[in-house]
Chain A
Amino acid sequence: MIRFILLQNRQGKTRLAKYYVALEESEKHKVEYEVHRLVVNRDPKFTNFVEFRTHKIIYRRYAGLFFSMCVDITDNELAYLECIHLFVEILDHFFSNVCELDLVFNFQKVYLILDEFILAGELQETSKKAIIDRMGELEKQE
């Protein structure tokens, strides 16, 4: 199960934080700080997995942005790595060539996309097309 998903830039600014477990506000800040510190200085040759407290962070860097997922210790790391990539592809497709600024100014859309992709800490849809189509339908409702 995914405990939380973080999207942070190199300076440690959080661009998206989605928690699927209940944490205190102060604890969330601490987690975000610690995760950033863990991933930011790792050699690109290193594994994309870091142990974090009793869980594991699966992270991947795209330009200046770090996508991190905290998952259970028994979960399939490689699968979540692929999952991050799929999410990035969806964002890239949706914003056509996504950059950090897109995510800042449309943060609420990023959350909405994520809600179509992952729910309750589990995968909801694995097709990029299905999610993009669904977002289109939802936009029409506005």
Chain B
Amino acid sequence: MNPFSSGTRLRDMIRAIRACKTAAEERAVVRKECAAIRAAVSENDQDYRHRNLAKLMFIHMLGYPTHFGQMECLKLIASAGFPEKRIGYLGLMLLLDERQEVLMLVTNSLKQDLNHGNQYIVGLALCALGNICSAEMARDLAPEVEKLLQSRDQNIRKKAALCSIRIVRKVPDLAENFMGPATTLLKEKHHGVLITGVQLCTELCKASTEALDYLRKHTDSLVRVLKDLMASPYAPEYDISGITDPFLQIRILRLLRMLGQGDADCSDCMNDILAQVAAKTESNKNAGNAILYECVAAIMGIEANSGLRVLAINILGRFLSNRDNNIRYVALNMLMKAVGVDTQAVQRHRTTILECVKDSDASIRKRALELVFLLVNDSNVKPLTKELIEYLEVSDPDFKGDLTAKICSIVEKFSPDKLWYIDQMLKVLSEAGNYVKDEVWHALIVVISNASEFHGYTVRSLYRALQTSGEQDSLVRVAVWCIGEYGEMLLNNVGVLDGKEPMTVTESDAVDVVEMALKRHMTDVTTRAMSLIALLKLSSRFAPCSERIREIINQQKGSLVLELQQRSIEFNSIIQKHQNIKPALVERMPVLDEAAYIGKKASSSSATLSTEKTSHSNSSGVTVSLPNGVTKPPAAPLVDLLDLTPDDVPVSSSSGGDFLQDLLGIGSSPNSSLPGVSQAPPTGGADILLDLLSIGTPSPVSALNTVPTSQDNMSSVSPLEALSTLPSPVSSAQVSQPSMLGSVKGTIDQSKQPAGVAPVMDLLDGLSSNPLSLDESNPLYPSIIAYQSNTLKIAFSFSKQPGKPQITLIQATFTNLSSNVYTDFVFQAAVPKFIQLHLDPASSNVLPANGNGSITQSLSLNNSHHGQKALAMRLRINYKVNNESKKEDGQINNFPSDPRCLCMLTFFN
């Protein structure tokens, strides 16, 4: 019986659901239906099984859970009749996907159905396989599908071809098996089979270079097919607005592009036909434009001759002036690729493209903006930036983020001189300062600090900009910083540039501005903290206002934000009690190192993790603490406010790559030089220094960069020593500060380092070698083979820090068991939420063949449910063999099964 034609119940249910007026009513109906279906399932009801499954599919579409119906699909698939199988397979595709383990149970039924005598049933099985098969199923069933590619029935052939695509996507190794059958499909006359054959070939080319070479030999026959298609008379079955099967033409063009890419001979073969398609295809309908678009893509992709390229660019030019937005969109898209081929030709359309940046359609704007970005060069940067900044004023808020990011990177990349850079950045900040990323204004401060000749000009411009755009956060930050640093230049009109008006600003005007920034209700903590520092600096520069400044600072004593309150109290005591050291404390910043900043910027992403750790540890129960939201790592130059480092000390910018190294570096030297406070975790100590003096962002990145970390720094003032000259609350805080990172690393540090200088690299070595040595000395931690496949072995050895039972250090050793070298080797691990995982960099990313050497990598796991839950981990290993990417996944489940490991685990937890 047919569940749909005679079964009114499905219709009834849909009607009942549609009649529901509220979501609650709908839920009630669905709940009732589900209960009935569940009952039928448990009674193993045969008659209504397919109808029930159909209902479940509808319920599923509404978004309700239907997992209990999964087994019903399998039962229906296993039944004999076509209607049952049909609904069973439909349910399978809808309710299940490749990740459910239930799916494995269906492999056998699929295999039987693929070999079935009834072509319709074979079709059903192919369809299901093509839509949801997993890698395992692909491997198991590939031979069947391969055989079906030669079936007599064309419907089966085309389904098998698409099924093969899925199989090759899941298991690229199988590509070679399909090469032969796939090329026979190219000789088909039936369009359906032909188009699937062409798509299969395209997929094979992506999966294997061997297949690509093999298929290149068939270029001629493809060209012929396309030629015939173009010349074919009106064919009603395949006609779309006057063009015969545009879909097939497009697929062939796409395959031709793949074949011609990087192969001159092959490209030669198709030059003529591409020219023909480009010239003859009608462009007044979407279908024709779709072909032209694909044809242009092919011309841009292959090694085409210049005449053909001109033709292609002309088509794009025509597209660009089209009134249909879709056509303009694809034109912009394709021009991006054309930039690499013929920049001059694209530059000709620059004004049109710039107009597109201002289009009302976000999709077009986005494309156009990216294209503009590619078109910028030294000669047109000024007018282009001007246009973009002007547009920034009127663009809608959604787009401002993208636009500012692009403008900033254009300005940074192409600025001809510093003054222009500063000017443009100020414009952007005033216009869209709230959308500017932190790195951008940090970079601006670095540049300003280096441009001593423009200090006066900059601070005046900022002051002026602040009057009109005081609501733009990053503008306020830069302005406040500059006023703090160069406040006196604001008053004296120092360094007025030619043609600029001098302006009159009194000391109290300047203080007003900073006070406003501090008190504006929208201002965030970082800005407020920066304002406080600026005020502290101004208090020494503007002697007459000193008392007023002290009052402003004092007001923040009651701030609810700990950071501000603390600063206020500390600064207040600096002003009141330590007049003698104040001038030295608030001296102007030394010029920031641009090269080092750029280096830092590149590595800042890797530093994020560690900084967060540090500041978290800070906020956990320490008097000196940072509020959340100031955990960002980028450079905050004010950190160096105290001017701890004598300028003649060599700055170890070479070791600047890794933030962590620096962090440990600063931690290690005070530790060795001040044995008296060795209980205080050194990193923590450094943090206080940073907290106290930095602007809101702790930003050790740039600060640490200027702190000496090399051997010869012993003679210079070490940061902690300098710190000890500070008011007492600070030093007491520093002693009591527990810091997670600090203590972990600190203990290593103490155990490893002789009482002397602690070179940064050595310390890091210590980190990775420590666990090993511990492991050797302690038989309690046996090594395990965490993962082993035919190609790869991973061994874990374990160690613990004394007194830190929740932290497990793992030394992972990777060995290559195959005969090929692995490159780009990357190991990833995932752990449950209650465990924190920290991965150190691996010793290498190249793994030699045949076990001739290995890669090591240290991990540290912090189990927050120590003693309650066991360690668990999933692994993923990515690497390349002969430039082909491979992926292996694993789970460490030999922990619990091995009794030895069990006892180890209990020890660990």
Contact = CB atoms under 8 A, between A and B. Distances in A.
Contact of B245 (A14, A49, A126): A126
Contacts of B82: 141-142
Contacts of B93: 111, 115
Contact of A104 (B14, B94, B159, B328): B14
- CB-CB nearest 7 A-B residue pairs: A78-B290, A120-B130, A46-B361, A120-B166, A22-B97, A119-B162, A125-B192
A25 B99 CA distance: 11
Which residue, of B86, B360, B363, has the highest number of chain A Cβ atoms within 10 A? B363
A78 B83 contact: no
A137 B118 CA distance: 13
Given A76-B250, A104-B18, A120 B329 contact: no
Nearest to B87: A108
A78 B191 contact: no
Nearest to B99: A22
B363 A119 contact: no
B240 interface: yes
Interface string B537-555: 0000000000000000000
B131 interface: yes
B237 A78 contact: no
5 contacts: A83-B247, A111-B94, A115-B131, A126-B195, A141-B82
B61 A14 contact: yes
B363 A108 contact: no
A128 B239 CA distance: 10
Contact of A45 (B238, B325, B327, B333): B325
B445 interface: no
B826 interface: no
A49 B294 contact: no
B847 interface: no
A114 B383 CA distance: 51
B678 interface: no
A111 B92 CA distance: 12
A75 to B, nearest CB: 9
B290 A129 contact: no
A51 interface: yes
Contacts of A120: 130-131, 162-163, 165-166
A142 B2 CA distance: 7
A92 interface: no
Contacts of B165: 120, 122
A63 to B, nearest CB: 18
Contact of A141 (B83, B199, B325, B362): B83
Interface in A48-71: 48-51
Nearest to B85: A141
Contact of B120 (A106, A127, A141): A141
A1 to B, nearest CB: 8
Contacts of A78: 286-287, 289-290, 293, 326-327, 330
A119 B159 contact: yes
Contacts of B289: 78
Given A49-B329, A79-B250, A108 B4 contact: yes
Nearest to B237: A127
A119 B130 contact: yes
Contact of B83 (A50, A79, A137, A142): A142
A9 B65 CA distance: 22
B366 A51 contact: yes
Interface string A8-28: 000000111101101101000
A98 interface: no
B159 A124 contact: yes
A107 B58 contact: yes
A130 interface: yes
A39 B502 CA distance: 53
Interface string B123-135: 0001100111000
Contact of A142 (B5, B61, B327): B5
A82 B242 CA distance: 13
B54 interface: yes
Contact of A124 (B162, B254, B297): B162
A9 to B, nearest CB: 12
Nearest to B130: A120
